[in-house]
Amino acid sequence: MSPRSSSSSLYCAEDAEDVSLWDTAAGEDSSDQWSFAVDSDNGHRPLPILLSEEKEHMPRMDYRSRFFSRTLHATTRQDSINWIFKVIDFYQFRPVTAYLSVNYLDRFLSTNNLPSVTKGNDAHRRINDGWPMQLLSVACLSIAAKLEETHVPLLLDLQILDPKYVFDPKTVRRMELFVMAALRWRMRAVTPFDFFLHFGTTIFPQVDGESRPFLFSRAADLIIRTHRVVDFLGFRPSIISAAALLCAASDLSDPSSNDAADCLGRLYEYVNQDEVGSCLQLMEEYLIDTCPSARRFKTKPLIEPLTPQSPVGVLDAASCASCHTRKSSVGVACNSDQPQMKRRRLDERQCTDGNSWRR
């Protein structure tokens, strides 16, 4: 297969049989406001059951560390997430569809190695962001959309917005089956959204009905943005949900009030306070504008990259122009890394060697 040309995407049908041979080794611009429905099947399940099952729908424990060891390339994952989010934004899919798409992708990559693709005549230049990664992204998005959306585009119509490759429906369906089998058919994953009804009434009973949709919408937006930062991969969905609700509600209630303290006390009966605090700190550091005058829920754009605190801790660089007086090391890192990040994108990204596909 060849990468897409400048005119149109390559129609990839020639490797459909390869998918069936693969063997496992172990989902109007809406970026400013997500519409969110909390009436999900999991959301009405008892909280203790959700807490006991959430770890079963997470990537392997060593998945995050593999980005630090360069066994997996953070930029490759970032590109896939960018494309998935653009398609979801175009079709105005629900936030849970976005979350599940990336959840399937991460769980699959944590137990499987995509085949490396050699570029040109240089045998040492191998990338794993070619057609295998694009096919995986399409399959994960398609599965999530079929699970959560009432109107799902045709598989060819789903592959829009400048994909590197376009696959025929037969190939995508084969990959869907392979992904579902690799995930042991556990597609109804426990997500942070499933805790909204439980935590929303526990933490914020004083939030009136008019403000509650705003609270959930802002929290949903923060949850989706956590996919861009690999540091969040170590947090369970319940922790991310609690931290997102606390972060989104910072302007709706006084956290120092006695009522708020009582609510937090009830919350910490179910989730670890230190873990929630660490997750909340990451959200405030990476996902919320750090300028005090602009901090009131001025979240960074959905498909805008994030500030790199470390080479792989954050996946992309963000614009540091939101605060003219901010001259911290974070801003310096952003400005100094931008040319390197641009060159990396133009250089078709070099990926790690040795990730051969297991047959």
At 244, which CATH number?
1.10.472
Q: Which of 172, 190, 208 is the last residue of a domain?
A: 190
Residues 125, 22, single domain; the answer is yes
Do 151 and 262 fall into the same domain? no
Q: Does 35 reside within a domain?
A: yes
| Contacts with 356 (C-beta within 8 Å, 6 or more apart), sequence order | 113, 115, 116
Same domain, residue pair 82 and 141: yes
CA distances from 112 to 3, 60, 105 (A): 23, 11, 10
Among residues 141, 166, 190, the one where a domain terminates is: 190
- Check residue 344 and give its pLDDT: 38
DSSP assignment of 29-97: --SS--------TGGGS-HHHHHHHGGGGS--TTHHHHHHTTSS-HHHHHHHHHHHHHHHHHHT--HHH
CB-count burial class (<10 Å; 0-12, 13-18, 19+) for 173: middle
pLDDT (0 to 100) of residue 257: 53
Q: What is the pLDDT of residue 80?
A: 94
223-242 per-residue burial string, b: 16 or more CB within 10 A, e: under 16 = bbbbbbbbbbbbbbbbbbbb
> Nearest 5°: phi and psi at 10?
-70, 135
Residue 269 gets the label, from left (phi > 0), alpha (psi -120 to 50) or beta, of alpha
Residue 221 lies in a domain: yes
pLDDT score of 251: 61
Q: How far is CA 53 from CA 50, 74, 81, 191, 257, in A?
A: 5, 27, 25, 10, 33
**Chain center to CA of 100:** 8
C-beta of residue 113 within 8 angstroms of C-beta of residue 356: yes
Q: Does residue 126 lie in a domain region?
A: yes
Task: Give the pLDDT score at 123.
Answer: 43
Same domain, 133 and 169: yes
pLDDT in tens, 120-163: 554 444 445 589 999 999 999 999 999 999 999 999 999 999 88
Residues 132, 258 within the same domain: no
Report, as ranges of residue numbers, the positions in the chain whose pLDDT lies below 50.
1-10, 13-39, 122-127, 256, 290-359
CB proximity list for 329: less than 8 A, separation 6 or greater:
none
What distance in Å separates the CA atoms of residue 34 and residue 92, rounded to the nearest whole number? 9
Residues 274 and 205 in one domain: yes
Question: Last residue of some domain: 287, 316, 333?
Answer: 287
> What pLDDT, on a 0 to 100 scale, did the predictor assign at position 45?
83
Which residue carries 């040795």 as its tokens?
Answer: 354
Indicate if 329 and 231 belong to the same structural domain: no
User: Do 179 and 240 fall within a single domain?
Assistant: no
Residue 4 lies in a domain: no
Per-residue pLDDT tens digits for 297-348: 344 444 444 434 443 443 343 333 333 333 333 333 333 344 343 333 333 3
- Buried/exposed code over 12-48 (b: 16+ C-beta within 10 A; e: otherwise): beeebebbeebeeeebeebeeebebebebebbeeeee
Q: Looking at the domain assignment, is residue 50 inside a domain?
A: no
Amino acid letter at 224? I
Find the helix or strand (DSSP H, E) in which 307 lies. Answer: none
How many Cβ atoms are within 10 Å of 72's Cβ, its own excluded?
A: 24
Q: Is 92 in the same domain as 171? A: yes
Q: Which domain holds residue 177?
A: 10-44+63-190
pLDDT of amino acid 43: 56
Nearest to 216, CA basis, from 190, 237, 192, 234: 192
- Asked if residue 115 belongs to a domain, the reply is yes
* Domains: count for the chain: 3
**Whether the predicted model's global pTM rises above the 0.85 cut:** no
Cα atoms in the 13 Å half-sphere on the side-chain side of 148:
30
Q: Are residues 264 and 325 in the same domain?
A: no
Do 232 and 95 share a structural domain? no
* Beta pairing partners, 299: 288
Report pLDDT for 215.
85
